[in-house]
Each structure stands twice: as C-alpha cells, then as structure tokens.
Structure 1
Amino acid sequence: MNIKIKINLLIIVFFAVQTTFAQEIYEGKWSAEKANKWYNGHDWFAGANFNPSTAINQLEMWQADTFDLETIDREMEWSADLGFNLHRVYLHNLLWQQNSCDFIDRIDQFLEVADKYDIKIMFVLFDDVWNPEPKLGKQPEPVPHRHNSGWLQAPGKEYLQDPSKDSLLEGYVKGLLKAFKNDNRIVAWDLYNEPTQENTNWYGSGSVNKTELPVDVKPMYSLRLVKNAFKWAREVNPSQPLTIGIWWGDINNWGTPEKLPVVDRVMVENSDIITFHTYDKDMDVVRKKITELKKYGRPIICTEYMARGENNTFETVMTILKEENIGAINWGFVAGKTNTIYPWKSWQEKFTEEPKVWHHDILRKDGTPYDPKEIDLIRSLTGYR
C-alpha cells in the first residue's frame, strides 16, 4: 500500500476513535481532596528544570561515563542558596534498557544529593521535544551559540511509531516507579513532556527535523504513549501524584476538557495535579491560563516558564505564580552545554557571542548570577534568609 494512503487511513482511524480515547480515565486517579491535601502539606514549590552544566542532554547527565555528581552537588547547593525546594529532572528510557540496576543506583545517588539540600524532585519520563533519534554512547559536542542543539526526545521516533516496542517502555515505566514508588525525595512523576510537540513549530530546528515524523501522524503515536504511560503508572500505584502538563492550544478551552484536543483531554483528565507551561509575553494570557486551570479544583504547578526575550521573567511570571500559590519551575539554572542562554531563534539566526539578554538560565558556571537583581527577587519570593 502506498505510504500516503497508509498515513491517510491512520489519520481517519485516529479521529474516528478520539472521543472514546478522551473519555478513558484510568483507575487510581487521586480525588481532588487527596491532591489538595498533598499540596497543602508542602511549602510553596519553587525551583528550576535541572540539568548540570556539564551535560548537553539527558543521556550525558545520566550515563556512567559522564555522570558528574561533583557538579550536581555544587549546583544543587547554589540552588538551595536561592531558596529553591523543587527541581524537575529528565530521565530517558534508553538508560533503563542499557542497565536498569546501574541507572537506579545513579538516580539514588542523585536523590541523596538533592535531599542533602532539602530539594524535592519531579522526574520526567518521556519527552517529544528536539532530536527524535536518541542514541546511547558519547553525545555530540554543543553546536556553538545554538539553543539546545543536543537535547533528545524520549523514547524518540523509532519507539514512538512501533507498538511492538511498547513492552520495553512498559518495563521502563513500571520498573522505575516500582523502585521509587514510596520515596519521599520524589514529589511527583511528570510522565511526558509536551506530547505531540513538533520542532518545526519552534522557528525550525534545522537538521534535527529531517527524520521527524510527519506533522499529521505524530499525534497518533503520542496519544498511544500518553494513554499507556498513565495506564502503566496507575498499575504501579505510586505514593506520589502523576501528571502530564498542558502546554499549547486555545487557552479559552483549557478548563473545559470536552473542548480540548484529544491528547490534552486525556492528559488533564488523568492527572492528579495540574501542570502547565507558559512562555507568554502577555501576563493577561498567563492569568487566563491560571483562571481556566483552577476549574479543575486541583493543585497547580507551572513546570516551565521564563524566557527573558519574551518578557517572561521572574518579575513578571514568578510573582504571579507566588500570588496564586502555584508552584513555579523555570527553565534552566546554570548556563552550560545546553546553550539555553541563547534564544530559540538561534536555530535560524547565527549568533557569534553571548546574547546581551539571556533567554534562560540564572547562573554562570562559576556560580555568579546573570543578574544579581533577579537573585534578590527570587530569594524574596522563596523566603530565603
């Protein structure tokens, strides 16, 4: 059968069954009462998406040869010095398949360091953003001056489009959650970052997209994994809440599940706590998102924000999140191999030196701040003394 015909048939089937998929809520979802009791048992959450400055991506962070506990310890200490108490941290299924026992051991070492500084962790298991062809082993050097030139999708194109590999992903989710299901150093499980994300929407990502799935097919595969991730995690029944964050679409519908795209509906209707992303310039948009998400009556954590060039800053966004008692996890901490001080448009435009306005990140590699006034503001909001 012609590949275009196959794709068209898949799309027809996808939209024919999307309503049924959207209505599926997996047994074990927390009640709103339980979720709010959990949230109220913690201090206000504030922190960053944490990746050590010496790692270009998830694999380089966690692989045995490049697992840099010394840097992790140093940067965690700097984090605690800002009053941060929660970090969101990405894992990868290939690490589990490589050697699950060693991976668990390194995760435990990482959690010991975080716990030393009273920092809780929210782990991310899957990710639909950037390079769709992850490979174990030595990771590439950063492309100079390019934002996130080496970040990886998990599980990536090969696994996402092949249901026969689902058993491997099931083993990863269940094995990982079973190992840490009662670990109070882990505050929540973020099962999947930005499902259906197409890199081409983010200013074009050059060669990264040459092997990307067709734009109208990937959502089908992402939906399957979103559903499976919730199903597998519920079968383990961890003591920590589950979530997948909403990040795109018509914000006027964010609080009305039946109006959401099918993937987003499955996400919000199966999440114990509500998480979301906001890189918006307009603070009225940020407030509108919050208003919509409050309709679920559950705790809310913003798991990505802060893009200075977009007027999305600690001053504009973090202050709103604190006022609303919404957890605040910005993107980026110590500037390093991810090059996220550069804007998304660095995939299109050539940069030859450090940008005057950093896109993400807070500290330089020596621990000095990009902007000392930001440090004062963050500390005032976290209550650091």
Structure 2
Amino acid sequence: MKLRVLLAAAVACAALAGTPAEARDQWTKAQAKQWYDAQPWLVGSNYNPATAINQLEMWQAATFDPARIDKELGWAEQLGMTTMRVYLHNLLWEDDAEGLKKRMNVFLDIAAKHHIKPLFVLFDSCWDPDPKLGPQHPPIPGVHNSGWVQAPGAARLADKSQYGKLEGYVKDVVGSFAHDKRVLGWDVWNEPNNGGGGNYTPTPHKKELVAGLLTQVFDWAQSVDPEQPLTSGLWIGDHWDKPETLDAVERIQVARSDVMSFHDYNWPEKFAERARQMLSYGRPVLCTEYMARGNGSTFDGSLPIGKKLNIAMINWGFVDGKSQTRLPWDSWKKPYTMDEPTIWFHEVLRADGTPYRKAETDLIKRLTAAPKGVVPPPTY
C-alpha cells in the first residue's frame, strides 16, 4: 500500500512538472513599457554571418564560425548597434539540442562582449519549404537569399504528429534562456502568413496550418515563463490599427505579442503610417525588418522616424556574404549573373567591413549616439 501511494505521488509530481504551472500571461501594457524603458534605443540588423547561406549553416557545428561572428559584431558595436535579430531552426534542436544550446551560449557571450542583445527568431515562413540538415548548397549565382529555409518547413507543418518535437524545441530553447540577461526577446515566427516567395512550390493550406500552430507556439513559449518579451510581426496590409481587417494569423500576432513588431520596406511616408498604426495598441513597437534601397526604404528615410517615435529599428542584412541579399527580390526572376544591381538592395557593410555607403554608417553612428527619442540635426 505504501509503495502504491509513493508511486501515485511520483506520477502526480511528474504530471505537475510537465504542466505550465509557471506559465505567464501576456504582459500588460505597463509591464511591456517597463521592460522597454529599461532598454537602450534598440538598433541593429537581421544577422547572418557572411560565411553562412542560411540559419542552418550559421549554427551547425561544422560551419559555426565564432571568429567571424566576433569580427562582425565588433563592427556593429562601432556603429552603436545594440541588438541583432537572429534566426534559429527546429531541425538544429532535433539533431543536437545540447550542441545548439552550447553554440547559442558562445554566440551570446560574443554578443554581450560587444554590448548587443539578440532577438531570436524561432520559426520562419519564408523561402525554401524543404529544409535539410548537413552541408548546404552553394549560393545560386545572382539570386537574392537563394539558400534560406523555412522553419518548421512544409513537411513538419503538415504533419501534426510531429508537433510534439516542435513543442520540445520551443520549450527547451526558450526555457534554457528564459532568464538570461544576454537575450533581448523571442520573435516566435517570422512572417507566418507569408506564402514563401522565390520559385518554390507553395505549401498547401499553409495559412490555415500556421494559424493553428502559431497559437500553440505562443502557449509553449509562455509556459516556460520567459522574462523576455514574445512577439511576431505584421508585414502586409494597410490598416493594422483596425483588427477587423486582419486575417486569422495577424489576429493571433496582435493578440498574443507582449511587444508589437512589424516590417516595412516602403517609402518613409508609408513607414511612418505603419509605425503609428502599431503604436496605437499602446505597447512598445519594434520594426524588425526595413531598408530595401531599390524599393524606397532607406536608412536616411526611415531611421530618423524610428528614433523620433522611439521604436526599435532592425534593418535587413548587415555584412554582404553568402545570402546575397545585396541583390533585389526580382533576382529570382532575372538573376544578376552578369552585372551588379545599380544599387545594393540590402546590407550595411562589404565583406571586409567597409561601409557600402559611408553616409549611411555616419547617420547610424550619429543617431545611436544621441539620447532615446532625440534626433540630432544633420551634419553636412
């Protein structure tokens, strides 16, 4: 009898340990403001080292390149950047969970050395829907982001029997760093309602599948009680401040994010309009993607607006490399194999660390050196 009671108690304890007893709710607006007020002005780039074609090549043991990361984040520090948006992948965790977390620790040590707090991205709906571990293919000549891969990918997304692995990934990765002061936050899913882009075959019923999974991803992340914020950013549409116009995925993003985030690759007038729409929710706002020169989105057009409105500003691309995002989106239809584009689409620095445009890096330095919310006058 005594043994049976002990076994029952052990089972009960195990069940409790597996439930989200420590799960937190979405932050209140006051909690979100308190967190944001404690941060410096958050400026940085979507970061992938020049030596990696995608997030798998960045993090796999055979190609993880801490020396290059250290050099590049040193360049970011010199510009006054304080954050980087960095993509992870569920397959990395499934293959080698402890190894991934070990390399994340190395990365976080390097970032902290340069006073940079990364925003980690857990899942991504853009580009290749069929990710594979191991050596990644070389860049396709003349094509923008020719090796980037989706997470979890079409097969995992469609197979609900695999969702337990995705749950394990989210809970273990977020839980392992839930109270780590080196981490800025968690962008749980990049552009979840994006069809994919490129020349890939679209994933059937993708938006419906993502809408069903995104709520669970927020639940899983909250269940490990992170002290950092959770977010997922809007990126299409014109009326973000009118919830009745949002699709099923966007409604989840708005309803569950601790801090709001968005992407904008348009002229400054549109950027300012979208930024104010996001601010209407009464929460801190992070612009987690902008700056596509050929599309009208530039540092000199958008960055001062972000500074004035006190929103975080994270542009696409830092150092030119294997992702080839200096090339425009239309390179998927007409590869730039003979000539460079007239202007670079993304990226701040060349591979050797010199600025693509010195006027841009001078602007970044000038704005990051000024107090939060203050836009110093231009110097000519």
TM-score of the two chains, using structure 1 as the length reference? 0.88
The offset of 1:235, in angstroms, is 0.9
Contact 2:141/2:335, CA 8 A, preserved across alignment: no
Contact 1:278/1:304, CA 8 A, preserved across alignment: yes
The share of aligned pairs that are identical, in percent, is: 46
**Is 1:159 matched up with 2:156?**
yes
The offset of 1:184, in angstroms, is 0.8
Name the residue aligned to 1:213. Answer: 203
CA distance in 1 between counterparts of 2:62 and 2:314 reads: 29
**Is 1:116 matched up with 2:106?**
no
The offset of 1:384, in angstroms, is 7.6
CA distance in 2 between counterparts of 1:379 and 1:185 reads: 23
Matches within 5 A, 1:222-261: 222-249=210-237, 251-252=238-239, 254-261=240-247
Residue among 320, 327, 350 paired with 1:342: 327
Contact 1:82/1:384, CA 8 A, preserved across alignment: no
CA distance in 1 between counterparts of 2:142 and 2:236 reads: 27
**Is 1:374 matched up with 2:360?**
yes
CA distance in 2 between counterparts of 1:357 and 1:185 reads: 35
Q: Secondary structure at the match of 1:136?
A: coil
CA distance in 1 between counterparts of 2:275 and 2:317 reads: 22
CA distance in 2 between counterparts of 1:143 and 1:56 reads: 10
CA distance in 2 between counterparts of 1:64 and 1:178 reads: 22
CA distance in 1 between counterparts of 2:181 and 2:329 reads: 35
CA distance in 2 between counterparts of 1:112 and 1:284 reads: 39
Residue by residue over 1:103-153, the C-alpha shift from the partner in whole angstroms, topping out at 9 and shown as x without a partner, is 100000000000000000100000000000000000000011110000000
Question: What's the C-alpha RMSD, in Å, of the aligned pairs?
Answer: 1.3
Matches within 5 A, 1:145-156: 145-156=142-153
Contact 1:196/1:222, CA 8 A, preserved across alignment: yes
The offset of 1:379, in angstroms, is 0.6
CA distance in 2 between counterparts of 1:325 and 1:125 reads: 25
Task: Kindly tell me the number of residue pairs found equivalent between the two proteins.
Answer: 348
Name the residue aligned to 2:14. Answer: none
Name the residue aligned to 2:36. Answer: 39
CA distance in 2 between counterparts of 1:188 and 1:89 reads: 11
CA distance in 2 between counterparts of 1:151 and 1:268 reads: 26
Contact 2:82/2:117, CA 8 A, preserved across alignment: yes
Residue by residue over 1:19-54, the C-alpha shift from the partner in whole angstroms, topping out at 9 and shown as x without a partner, is xxxxxxx96100000000110011111000110000
TM-score of the two chains, using structure 2 as the length reference? 0.90
CA distance in 1 between counterparts of 2:130 and 2:262 reads: 26
CA distance in 2 between counterparts of 1:235 and 1:256 reads: 29
**Is 1:189 matched up with 2:186?**
yes
Greater Rg by CA: 2
- Name structure 1 gaps, 5 residues minimum: 1-25
Contact 2:24/2:225, CA 8 A, preserved across alignment: no
